[in-house]
Amino acid sequence: MTRHTSVFLLCLVWLAQIGCAAPTPTSPPFAPPDTPTPSPTEPAATPEAGPTIASTPMIAGSIKVGATVSDTGAFAEQGRAVRQGYTFWQQWTNQHGGVEINGLRYGVRLILLDDASDPAQTSALYEKLAAEDNVHWLLGPSAAELVPLAAAVAEAHGIPMVESASGADDLFGQGYTATFSLLASPGRASESALKLLADQGATRLAIAYDNNPPYRVVAAGTQALAGTLGITAVSTDVFPPGVVDSAPLLAKYQSLRADALAVIGGPTDAATFAQGIKKSAFAPSAILLTDGPGNAGFMQAAGDSAEGMLGLSAWDASAGWADDRVGSASDFATQYAAMWGDEQPDSRAAGAAACGFTLAAAAQQAGSFKPEDVLAALPALDMMTFFGPVKFGADGRNEARPMLVMQVQNGALAIVAPDNVKTSDVVYPLAK
């Protein structure tokens, strides 16, 4: 998550690596005009000019696209990934001749402004992009917390915005018609995992969750979805943030004969439960740690206790998603690394790049890059990307989007669901 990644890129991102300066693209060469040093009251801006393509005879003009990214402040970590994802889309598009619409090609002019991770700055800068820069399309800000500010501006000006930071219910329940998320509702975060457990024969699920709002939404959705799949939620319990002792809850779940456990919280919470289960007599057939496997912090903290654990991820380069533009998820990762000094993309960078390709696809379908025409075309999109399927529901969220289910197998991560992208069969039941 507005009319949305690991999880809690999906909760706030579905929840969502390093806050160092973004590397310069290394291939192909990119030499934009100099950027003036901003004054203390002016945000830094990425030069509008992309790679030089104007000499190509078929270039008919340019499409101006704008967004804010958090280069500084609390959200700088994800801001860096999102900036690089947006820039990948712009450079890839321009180097492949621009966006082709009705036989004519248009270059992408990308304006990225630093919102400093500040809501007021975000709102003001999106207003500038809409009213002063007259952008044709908008891309969303880096952090889920900032998306509502951008969405309000997009709605007021009737400019289409595609984002991959939030699928939050409180945003997409407002009836917005100009904001579209590549994420699904966070209440569906556990859907792929629960379908997998049901197929394996699990019938009694214990749910433990951190009571912070994003996790609470996922927990409620997990309980509701379990019931539709024939799985009984035998207990649903809150644990305090930073829980240090999982033993009492685990003993309770053993007495209730739970054959599956879902722990919905951060990576530290996931590691605490993984280690606790290893010491406990409780031996469920499956253990889902929503922000566990796939999170580097969890893998380091849990150590050998991570083996066999299931987790959720918004995207992985090994997933079997592919399109006829960039290619597969793995192809995207290879091209991204070539551009950014061998740095591998995470789900935030991949999602950001996919936002641009989604807007371009809508323009091609509409036969126009005008904001009103792209807005009309977005709800009808039904396409595959290296980031996964895209099909928007009535509220603007991606109803076709599944979360990947990861499992630690022999110390390495494997995708075990959905079936059409899995890299390995699930290990079930777990050996104690």
CA dist 208 and 249 (Å) reads: 8
Does residue 49 register a pLDDT over 50? no
pLDDT of residue 152: 98
Identify which of 50, 142, 160, 155 has the alpha carbon closest to the alpha carbon of residue 94: 50
Residue pLDDT, tens place only, 342-351: 999 999 999 9
CA dist 432 and 429 (Å) reads: 9
Identify which of 389, 386, 407, 414 has the alpha carbon closest to the alpha carbon of residue 330: 386
CA dist 44 and 28 (Å) reads: 24
The domain defined by 7-183+321-390 folds into Rossmann fold (3.40.50)
7-183+321-390 and 188-313+403-421: identical CATH topology: yes
CA dist 176 and 208 (Å) reads: 33
pLDDT > 70 in the chain, percent: 87
Pair of tokens at residue 46: 């990425």
CA dist 194 and 281 (Å) reads: 24
Q: Determine the average pLDDT of the residues in 359-375.
A: 98
Identify which of 194, 147, 142 has the alpha carbon closest to the alpha carbon of residue 168: 147
pLDDT band of residue 59 (cuts 50, 70, 90) is confident
Among the listed ranges 26-30, 174-178, 236-240, 426-430, which one has the minimum average pLDDT value? Answer: 26-30
pLDDT of residue 38: 32
Pair of tokens at residue 350: 């991949």
Q: Can you give the length of the chain in residues?
A: 432
93 contacts 63 by C-beta, under 8 angstroms: no
The torsion angles phi and psi of 412, rounded to 5 degrees, stand at -120, 160
pLDDT of residue 283: 96
Identify which of 107, 124, 118, 109 has the alpha carbon closest to the alpha carbon of residue 73: 118
Does residue 276 register a pLDDT over 60? yes
Pair of tokens at residue 379: 């709800």
Residue pLDDT, tens place only, 63-115: 999 999 999 999 999 999 999 999 999 999 999 999 999 999 999 999 999 99
What residue type is 396 in one-letter code? Answer: G
320 DSSP 8-state letter: -
Q: Determine the average pLDDT of the residues in 246-266.
A: 97
CA dist 178 and 2 (Å) reads: 9
CA dist 109 and 430 (Å) reads: 52
Percentages (nearest 5) of helix, strand, coil residues in the chain = 40, 20, 40
Distances (CA, A) of 287 to 205, 282, 357: 10, 11, 36
Distances (CA, A) of 281 to 197, 277, 284, 349: 21, 7, 10, 41
392 DSSP 8-state letter: B
CA dist 325 and 364 (Å) reads: 13
* DSSP bridge partners of 15: 8, 9
Q: Determine the average pLDDT of the residues in 161-179.
A: 96
Q: Determine the average pLDDT of the residues in 176-200.
A: 97
Does residue 286 register a pLDDT over 80? yes
Q: Strand ranges (DSSP E) for 98-189?
A: 99-101, 104-114, 137-139, 161-163, 179-181
User: Angle between the 213-228 and 191-200 helix axes, to the nearest 10 degrees?
Assistant: 40
Dmax of the chain from CA atoms? Answer: 74
414 contacts 324 by C-beta, under 8 angstroms: no
pLDDT of residue 295: 86
Query: What's the distance, Cα to Cα, between the start and end of the chain in Å?
Result: 37
pLDDT of residue 25: 54
pLDDT of residue 58: 67
Distances (CA, A) of 146 to 47, 140, 336: 23, 9, 26
pLDDT of residue 294: 83
* The domain over range 188-313+403-421 is classified in CATH as 3.40.50.2300: yes
What residue type is 141 in one-letter code? Answer: P
Identify which of 423, 426, 421 has the alpha carbon closest to the alpha carbon of residue 285: 426
Q: Can you give the residue ranges of every domain in the chain?
A: 7-183+321-390, 188-313+403-421
Distances (CA, A) of 92 to 142, 230, 325, 365: 20, 46, 10, 20
What residue type is 118 in one-letter code? Answer: D
pLDDT of residue 5: 38
Does residue 42 register a pLDDT over 60? no
pLDDT of residue 153: 98
396 contacts 133 by C-beta, under 8 angstroms: no
Q: Is the pTM of this model over 0.85?
A: yes
Which residue, chain included where needed, has tokens 């310069």?
24
